[in-house]
Every structure is written in structure tokens, then in C-alpha cells.
């Protein structure tokens, strides 16, 4: 069975993903994988650090499947991965949404299997 680090590493290797982060519900990072030199996403990562607890509360309170934030060059998708974790994926704006979501769902299924 693959670990969360391995799962996120594989997701970050996708051509559509710039970074993948697995958070605990309290906002602590479990795993972080960046696909390439991440200088262009440092501002987004800093924003995520400040906002993740709020985003997680919104997902929980509203029962949302995911939350997407779009910035000038990047898009951030928060997706509940298990009862105690949330997967955040950073992509470039304009990536193929359906293919990206297939990759994310595959990663979430693997994380859920690992967490059982």
C-alpha cells in the first residue's frame, strides 16, 4: 500500500499539477510535494497557510465536495480526502479540468484506502 508521500509524489508528477498538499483538519501539513521549481507558487502556498483552517471549516459546515480558488495564474482546489484530511492541489489556470479531477479522485481513493 502506498503512503501519502508516494501518492502525492505521483500526483505532483502529473503535467497538470504544480503542487499537492495533504492537510490534517487542524491545518497542519501531513505531506507536501511540488512538481518543479516552485518559485511561482510561493505566494499561493503562503496564502494557503493562512487560509486553510477557514477553508476546511467552510467545506465541513457546508458539506461541499470541493472548494476552488482562482488566482491570476494559479488555481487551488481543496478536496476532502478522508474524515481527517484534505487534499489541496495547485494548478495553472486553464488546465484540462476533467483530466485533472480524474487524477485528484484517483489520489483521494488511494489516500482513503491508506487511512482505513
User: Which residues make Cβ contacts (< 8 Å) with residue 95, sequence separation at least 6?
Assistant: 16, 75
Q: Which pLDDT score is estimated for 3?
A: 94
Residue-wise pLDDT for 1-28, tens only, equals 899 999 999 999 998 899 999 998 888 8
d(CA 37, CA 23): 21
Residue-wise pLDDT for 46-67, tens only, equals 888 888 888 888 888 999 999 9
User: Which residues make Cβ contacts (< 8 Å) with residue 57, sequence separation at least 6?
Assistant: none
Residue 37 predicted with pLDDT over 70:
no
CATH number at residue 89: 3.30.450.30
Residue-wise pLDDT for 64-85, tens only, equals 999 999 988 889 999 999 888 8
The count of structural domains within the chain is 1
- Residues 93, 71: contact at Cβ < 8 Å? yes
Residue-range definition of the domain harbouring residue 79: 4-115
Amino acid at each position: 500500500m502506498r503512503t501519502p508521500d508516494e501518492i502525492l509524489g505521483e500526483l505532483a508528477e502529473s503535467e497538470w499539477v504544480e503542487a499537492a498538499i495533504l492537510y490534517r483538519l487542524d491545518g497542519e501539513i501531513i505531506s507536501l510535494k511540488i512538481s518543479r521549481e516552485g518559485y511561482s507558487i510561493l505566494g499561493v502556498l503562503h496564502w494557503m497557510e493562512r487560509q486553510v483552517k477557514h477553508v476546511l471549516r467552510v467545506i465541513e459546515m457546508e458539506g461541499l465536495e470541493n472548494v476552488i480558488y482562482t488566482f491570476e495564474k494559479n488555481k487551488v482546489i481543496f478536496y476532502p480526502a478522508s474524515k481527517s484530511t484534505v487534499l489541496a492541489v495547485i494548478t495553472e489556470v486553464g488546465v484540462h479540468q476533467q483530466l485533472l479531477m480524474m487524477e485528484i479522485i484517483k489520489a483521494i481513493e488511494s489516500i482513503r484506502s491508506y487511512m482505513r
